[in-house]
Structure 1
Amino acid sequence: MEATLEKPKTQSKNRTIRRVAVLGSGIMGSRIAAHFANVGVDVLLLDIVPKEPNAAEQAKGLTTDSPLVRNRIVNDAFQTMLKASPASLYSAKFASRIKLGNFDDNLSEIATYDWIIEVVVERLDVKRSVYERVEQFRKPGTLITSNTSGIPMHLLAEGRSDDFRRNFCGTHFFNPPRYLRLLEIIPLADATGPDTDPAVIDFLMNYGSLYLGKTTVLCKDTPGFIANRLGIQSLIQTIRVAEDMGLTVEEVDKLTGPVVGRPKSGTFRLSDVVGLDTTVNVAGNLVKMEHDESRASFELPASVQKLMENKWLGDKTGQGYYKKSKDATGKTEIQALDLKTFEYKPSQKVKFATLEGTKAIDNLRKRFPVLLAGTDKAGEFYRRTFADGFQYATHRIPEISDELYRIDAAITAGFGWQVGLFETWDAIGVRKGVELIEAQGKKPAQWVYDMLDAGIESFYRVDSGKKQYYDIPSKSYKTIPGTEAFIILENLRGDGPSQNVVWKNADASIYDLGDGILNVEFRSKMNTFGQGVSEALMKGVAMAEKDFRGLVIGNDSAEAFSAGANLGTLFMFAVEQEFDEVNLMIAQFQNMMMRLRYSSVPVVVAPHTLTLGGGCEAVLHSDRAVAHAETYMGLVEVGVGLIPAGGGTKEMAARASDLYQTGDPELNILQNIFMNIATAKVSTSAQEAREMNYLRSTDQIVLNRSSLIAEAKQAAVELAENGYTQPKPRTDIKVQGKTGIALFKAGISAMRMGRYISDHDLKIADKLAYVICGGDLSSPQTVSEKYLLDLEREAFLSLSGEKKTLERIQSLLTGGKPLRN
């Protein structure tokens, strides 16, 4: 494992994964290989040898004996993976951890690998033939798993040796493996031979969670396992209801998107992205299940059948429920399929009275009752689809899972839902949900009635900060296994008074995490820094210094750690030319960051997802950052016509100074930092944030998002127990003065001449160069932090009075889009 990644507290006595062989280099295989490379594992990626050279190879005189021909399939797949967006690798340099080869020449090498993952085409005969060859070379005891999305384990393992069977199971990743958190673990349980060793399952459950950052869900060997069984049923039933109600494609995608805590793609766009043929293939297997009382729900709706006949499969064929086309002016437009006429029409914006009524409800769980009470078509759609999903899930217990929490974990992690089916049901009330189902002429499983008869009114509850689920056999609540070490702020907060919340305002809360550590959580829109958040941060430091020994800054937001400063107040003061107020705002923001940096207790910041502007500056001024692997960090102020002035420019100048070594080309280091800020570059991962110097080598990168706050707390405890000493303000920052300014001005002038940037971009970059180089100094020299902070503030104040800066801020505030004027 790489030292950059968080280590487990314990390691299996019998297994350490250093090398993984991935058999099959298609979309899933190459991306699974990439994710193992992300976590520091050496990977062997293999695929078949082509039957003959293609035309280009023949023109070069190559034959099937040539390595270029023999490895063409794997090489092409690997290059496709490298070019794909979003990126599969945390860093492009991690590609060197993947070795390419083919089954004929390189399969024998699997003897030296710790884990073999089969990801070949979804055909039982093909998979079995691969296993036959694997057994010739596989070392006894080596893990062997399949990424099948639905073929039963007992069929795959038929005819295999006892050792193979004991170390074999399903490991079903969801696409794209880096970003979707679900990893389904499916043990082999079959009367014809040994089952999967329980120690193997325990190991994979732990490894998937800790090293791969996955929500690992233990599944039964049933058709579709858990996520696809529930997810495909929901997708097809949604399409069926849409057709029945006469709803448009755009209307359904609006109703099934972020408003109900699901991805922006909604239902029909998701179908296009996944590929309609994939959905149909999975549904075709599921509709055959004679034991499923609702198997008719997998029968294809009319629009799906028509699309399949037309071979309009979605993105892979250029059209499905949507397609791109050119209008009369040559401009690209998105067209949506009319489900009645089967013609494409320009996509229309959607409005429903029910949705309008929920705009002010930020809490997703409080939104559901309002949506289901709607008196328009939206309300009817929600009542029909939610009732169907609820009742279907109840009847799948214990068939696909003995525990209801596994169903919610699979659907949220596999399909990107913020809350699962039973969590949604809890939000509207279990009795209300039963009434909803019965109103549609259906009934949930008997265990739901038994639960209510016993006086139990919810599927989940929180006890002492830990989430518990209703266990059906024992008719009692149990803590969700594997979550005991997590710190989930939502569970500490609760709906009413909480002993863990020691202070709060409208935008933030301060929690006592135990062991002398406080946590400041902000909950403003996109977690932007406004007055409420700033007040909480200053209060948190003061409270920690007085009665505690450390402070964590972290939150559970799904969207952003922080999108930066709240620009509304700045815009108001700048438009009114109240520059004294602007100057005071900047000074206060700088003072807050310096308060974090020079507190008498350690401050640990736990960034994740979007960490922009002021959010990035908070990370820069921490004693340690504990970052989730999916952290997209950057100083992006130039996008609104400003420069970083919360200590961000100062801190990056200081980091450049610290990186200088004797004989190093100092300006190259500073130039890279300057260009990152000047172009508002945002890292695509925490690893890239480290390469951009927004994270230090001493900062941690954690793969499992659920463990982020707990790991940050542990870092604060360690800093305190190791004898934390309050740092002193710096006076030793080496800056380049006129030498650096001249170099940077030459570069940005060339960019302006090439029309890569506008005149206003040029002006902003000039200001940035002046500050990061320490001003108009005659030669390189050392300066203090205060000196650079003053330069930052002056440049920011000057730019805030520019008309084009105000236009940029206004564009972002009113339309949510950056303006490059």
Structure 2
Amino acid sequence: MSEKLLVRRAAVLGAGVMGAQIAAHLTNAGVDTVLFDLPAKEGEPNGVVNRAIASLGKLSPAPLASKSLAAAIRPANYELGLKRLKDCDLVIEAIAERMDWKQELYEKIAPFVADHAVLASNTSGLGINKLAEVLPEKLRSRFCGVHFFNPPRYMHLAELIPARTTDKAVLQGLETFLTTTLGKGVVYARDTPNFIGNRIGVFSILATIHHTAETGLGFDEVDALTGPLAGRPKSATYRTSDVVGLDTMAHVIKTMADTLPDDPWHRYFKSPKWLAGLVEKGALGQKAGAGIFRKVGKDIMVLDLEKQDYRPADRKAADELVAILKTKDPVEKFAALRASSHPQAKFLWAVFRDLFHYSAYHLADIAETARDVDLAIRWGYGWSLGPFETWQAAGWKQVAQWIADDIVAGKAMSDAPLPDWVFDGRDGVHSAEGSYSPGKNARLPRSALPVYKRQRFPDPLLGESFAKGETVFENDGIRMWTDGDDIAVASFKTKMHTVSDNVLDGLQEAVARAERDFAGLVVWQPREPFSAGADLAGALGLLQAGKVDAFEAMVANFQATSQSIKYSLVPVVAAVRGLALGGGCEFQMHSARTVAHLESYIGLVEAGVGLLPAGGGLKELAVRASEAAGANGDVFAELKGVFETVAMAKVSASAVEAKELGLLRAGDQVVFNAHELLHVARGQARALADAGYRPPMPARRVRVVGDVGIATFRMLLENMLEGRFISEYDYEIATRIATVVSGGDVDRNAVVDEDWLLRLERQHFVELAQQEKTQARIAHMLKTGKPLRN
């Protein structure tokens, strides 16, 4: 049994961009956090930290799950506050990347670090064993490296780097904390410069830079090839460099040059002249407003090395390359790349070849297994497949032969030989048994640490599959399945998990079967999003064909599905991550409980397509406002905030914010690791069932604000109309939303029931749907993915 790391309080040393954001994410996770830095030269001693905390609210993407959390971070400085370290269980150092500064700080803090506390350095590449040398003997066993990727709230990767002296139980305790509490994917790295992610990731960028120069391609052209077409993020290579900062890029390259003198690729570890020139001019990328790319008005310009000036960024991937890269079979794809004489194909093959060569050559030095390398690159750089997975999918033996041929022909960046294990008759490095470890010359299975039992479906590598459970019921919209226990799971089968007729009918059937044969039901999707809402294309088709009756019947069926979830005799738990919009939001509102991943973007967004929520969402808001106000409270005060949220089609920027917007309930759970979502949701369903769950009583006495509420909402809207914050059509939609949540044109404090509210929802939804402007909004959204303001 590994030692449990109990973290009641944590400290972060260093309030720079990275340190402040790590403190923010610890705070997101409910960890009481102290943030340290140098004392201010003048004024308030904690001034440096206070300014860093204040700036967290201005950063994008937001490091805090809610701006209000900034107040929970406690400021401190190294002169006056070191005693506060004594009650910290975890201390993370995140100061500038200088060995002497870090070691000096360790000597200063060592007497104050508690005997049980873990000390970790968030270095991106300095030697962990070297850092440990200055620590007193008793602290060395509790010291290691932990490298968060930037931005730490969003990047899944955390590299754990043991020193020779680190106690294994300490590492396992920290791994468990990072996985569940902070939601990270942990990869163990050896103590080598830049560890795994940046060693391989930055080499890939250097190889891209080298081959860009060799083939004379434009930076925009290369980004068109090395983005989504190659299974990588939209920001591709050069735009990513701009986002990271060209000064940071240059620094990382210099670190590689300084610390890896014996690397066979060492001669490529230098910034090209154009990069050094941009850094010298202060054109550092996005933060400086210009770098490799820059924006002029609405136009994106790109640096042209021949012209020594910016030109419009308009070079694309050639049709021939698009056809090759869209080939489904990776074996065919790589054969076509290798065979093509097109400069873009030659470029791409060369970049892949040198990446495979480098990764294989260095695997034994930098990691225990090929799994660690592939997951580090996927989680740290956002690639859909890591380098070894890509190679294996493309046909291991054939690609290995091509690489060897290119090395012999002098085409590869280095003449270093591929390791012998590459040619031992294998078809790859990953299989169901595990991933290859050169050190042990065996395939090692995934970690058996108890924390991973919480992941029913871990992020699968090529060659891995996890049993999908036994199907209980299936139609074209959903699949209901079980692991053989009494909690069933329902998952949608539609694109973006949109809600179609088949999903509605399937969910009603799943609830009925759960009531009959199970103790609870979880609605969970194997991957994001939870649901992008109603099937707009289907709805628009019915309207344009003039089938208003069929359209109204679909709306009634939507409401019936929400009601069946709410009044199910067994608890229905919604497990939400990613988008939960429109109908997806309404389903979780009607569930007995929602378990939401921190990165859940929840909203009733129907106003954006000229409609209003009619899957029971507005009814539910009216019911909740009545319940919250009680017999004599102010119902309007309870409604005002949620009305604005719906009328403005606001979407939460996190699950925490969804609670503040009234779209999640106070008792709903927030989970930090997406791979643990199903485990927690099933646990909640089980707990509710074990407690003798009964659905709520039908809401027959809902106190509403009536005509006075509608009039008050109208006044708010008229001010927005005059200020041109909304269009006339927005005003009409919002007035109808106000009418429904207010309970219609009845007296203030009148009492209505759920059916009355559902009828109101349906009536206004169907009337809006027949309007020309609404149909134009729906068509525009389907075509462009963006809302139309008409």
8 Å CA contact retained: 1:384, 1:440:
no
Deviations 1:327-349 (A, max 9, x none): xxxxx422111243331112226
- The answer to whether the aligner puts 1:446 opposite 2:420 as a matched pair is yes
| Identical-residue share of aligned pairs (%) | 38
Amino acid at match of 1:716: A
2:41 paired with 1:96: no
Count how many residue pairs are aligned between Structure 1 and Structure 2: 774
- Closer, same or farther: CA 372–688 of 1 in aligned 2, 3 Å: farther
Question: Among residues 279, 282, 306, which one is paired with 2:249 in the alignment?
Answer: 279
Aligned to 1:604, the other structure's residue is in SS state: strand
Aligned counterpart in structure 2 of residue 807 of structure 1, from 776, 784, 788 = 776
Q: 1:742 to 1:173 in 2, by over 3 A?
A: same
What residue is the counterpart of 1:748 in the other structure?
717
Evaluate the alpha carbon distance shift between residue 301 and residue 514 of structure 1 in structure 2; reply closer, same or farther with a 3 A threshold.
farther
Question: Residue 171 of structure 1 corresponds to which residue in structure 2?
Answer: 146
The within-5 A match list for 1:635-714 is 635-661=604-630, 664-714=633-683
Sort the Cα spacing of 1:387 and 1:514 in 2 relative to 1 into closer, same or farther, 3 A: farther
Is 2:162 the counterpart of 1:187? yes
Deviates more, 1:297-306 or 1:393-402: 297-306
Of 546, 560, 567, which aligns to 1:577?
A: 546
Equivalent position to 1:386, from 346, 352, 360: 352
1:620 and 2:583 equivalent? no
Distance 1:358 1:651 in 2: 51
Q: Could you give the per-residue CA deviations for residues 675-694 of structure 1, whole angstroms, max 9, x where no partner exists?
A: 11001111111111112222
Give the aligned partner of residue 197 of structure 2.
227
| 1:174-230 C-alpha deviation (Å, 9 max, x unpaired) | 1111111111111122xxxxx122221111111101111111222211100111111
The answer to whether structure 1 residue 48 and structure 2 residue 48 are counterparts is: no
Corresponding letter in the other structure for 2:93: E
2:226·2:232 contact (CA, 8 Å) conserved in 1?
yes
State the AA in 1 paired with 2:421. Answer: W
Would the aligned equivalents of 1:287 and 1:299 in 2 still touch at CA under 8 Å? yes
Runs (4+) of structure 1 moved beyond 6 Å?
358-361, 489-499
Further displaced range: 439-448 or 631-640 = 439-448
The within-5 A match list for 1:238-253 is 238-253=208-223
Cα 1:16–1:390 change in 2 (3 A) is same
1:683 is paired with a residue whose SS is: coil
Aligned with 2:319 (options 331, 335, 353): 353
Cα offset, 1:656, TM superposition: 1.7
Secondary structure class of the residue paired with 1:283: helix
Please state how far the C-alpha of 1:654 moved relative to its aligned partner.
1.7
Return the match for 1:766 from 731, 735, 748: 735
Name 1:415's counterpart in structure 2: 381
For the Cα contact (< 8 Å) 2:704–2:749, is it kept in 1?
yes
* Contact map agreement 2:533 2:581 (CA 8 A) in 1: yes
- CA distance in 2 between counterparts of 1:820 and 1:111 reads 57
Classify the secondary structure of the residue corresponding to 1:552: strand
1:324 aligned residue = 295
- Provide the secondary structure at the position in 1 that maps to 2:191: coil
Point out where structure 1 has 5 or more consecutive residues left out of the alignment.
1-9, 52-63, 190-194, 327-331
CA 1:796–1:175 in 2, change beyond 3 Å: closer, same or farther?
same
Whole-angstrom CA distance in 2 between matches of 1:486 and 1:536? 26
Q: 3-state SS of the aligned residue for 2:651?
A: coil
Deviation track 1:786-820 (CA, whole Å, cap 9, x = no partner) reads 22111111111111111221221121111111111
* Residue in structure 2 matched with residue 255 of structure 1 by the alignment: 225
Taking the TM superposition and a 5 Å limit, the aligned residue runs for 1:185-584 are: 185-189=160-164, 195-288=165-258, 289-326=260-297, 332-348=298-314, 350-353=316-319, 356-357=322-323, 370=333, 373=336, 375=340, 376-438=342-404, 440-441=406-407, 444-450=418-424, 452=426, 457-462=427-432, 468-472=434-438, 473=440, 475-476=442-443, 478-482=445-449, 483-488=452-457, 500-501=470-471, 504=474, 508-558=478-528, 560-584=529-553
Residue 785 (structure 1) aligns with: 754
Offset of 1:641 from its aligned partner? 0.7
Contact 1:25 1:46 in 2 (8 A): yes
- Counterpart in 1 of 2:94? 119
The alpha-carbon distance between structure 1 residues 772 and 359, as it changes in their structure 2 partners (threshold 3 A), is farther
- Alignment CA distance shift 1:44-1:485 (3 Å): closer
Per-residue Cα deviation, 1:330-384 (whole angstroms, up to 9, x for no partner): xx422111243331112226343256548988xxx86785476355555444322
In structure 1, the residue corresponding to 2:232 is in which secondary structure? Answer: coil
What is the distance in 1 between the residues matched to 2:474 and 2:207?
A: 43
Q: List per-residue Cα deviations over 1:700-739 (Å, max 9, x = no partner).
A: 1111111112222222233333333355543233222112
Match for residue 119 of structure 2 among 131, 144, 156 = 144
| Runs of 5+ consecutive residues of structure 2 not aligned to the other structure | none
Cα-to-partner distance string for 1:11-61 (whole Å, 9 max, x where unaligned): 955x4212212111110111111111111122221222344xxxxxxxxxx
Structure 2 contact 595–671 (Cα < 8 Å) conserved: yes
TM-score for the superposition, normalised by structure 2:
0.92
Q: Give the direction of change, closer, same or farther, for the CA distance of 1:109–1:548 in structure 2 (3 Å limit).
A: closer
Displacement of 1:171 in angstroms is 1.5
Aligned partners of 1:740, 1:476: CA distance in 2, in Å? Answer: 67
Residue of 19, 25, 28 corresponding to 1:29: 19
For 1:127, give the aligned amino acid. Answer: K
Tell me, yes or no, if the aligned pair for 1:22 and 1:118 is still in contact at 8 Å: yes
Structure 1 residues 776 and 518: alpha-carbon distance in aligned structure 2, compared to 1, 3 A threshold: same
| In structure 1, C-alpha distance between the alignment counterparts of 2:243 and 2:437, rounded to whole Å | 36
Task: Tell me how far 1:392 sits from its aligned partner.
Answer: 1.8
**SS at structure 1 position matched to 2:364:** coil
Instruction: Say if 2:6 is the partner of 1:16.
Output: yes
Deviations along 1:410-435, one digit per CA (max 9) or x if unpaired, are 11221222332223334333334424
- Letter of the structure 1 residue corresponding to residue 610 of structure 2: G
User: Does 288-297 or 350-359 show the bigger shift?
Assistant: 350-359
Counterpart selection for 1:160 from 126, 135, 152: 135
Q: What is residue 607 of structure 1 aligned with on the other side? A: 576
The more displaced of 542-551 and 781-790 is: 542-551
Residues 354 and 371, structure 1, Cα contact 8 Å, conserved in 2: no
Matched, 1:72 2:47: yes
Q: 1:20 to 1:489 in 2, by over 3 A?
A: closer
- Confirm or deny: 8 A CA contact 2:3 2:170 kept in the other structure: no
Contact map agreement 1:249 1:339 (CA 8 A) in 2: no
For 1:406 and 1:135, the matched residues in 2 are separated by 32
Cα shift readout 1:520-566 (whole Å, capped 9, x = no counterpart): 223433222234544543443344344443322212324x2221112
Quick one: distance in 2 between partners of 1:727 and 1:354? Answer: 60
Instruction: Give the TM-score normalised by structure 1.
Output: 0.88
* Contact residue 330 and residue 394 of structure 2 kept, 8 A: no
Structure 1 residue matching 2:456: 3-state secondary structure: coil
Change (3 A) 1:616 1:518: same
User: 1:352 and 1:597, CA in 2 relative to 1: closer, same or farther beyond 3 A?
Assistant: farther
State the 1:744 CA deviation.
0.8
Letter in 1 for 2:84: E
Q: Is the 8 A contact 1:171 1:185 kept in 2?
A: yes
Change in Cα spacing, 1:396 to 1:509, as seen in structure 2 (3 Å) is farther
- Asked whether the 8 Å contact 1:471–1:478 carries over to 2, the reply is no
Q: CA deviation at 1:502?
A: 5.1
Q: Distance in 2 between matches of 1:432 and 1:507?
A: 41
Cα deviations across residues 462-503 of structure 1 (Å, max 9, x unaligned)?
A: 48xxxx434553534624444343122886998899664455
Contact 2:53/2:70 (8 A) holds in 1: no
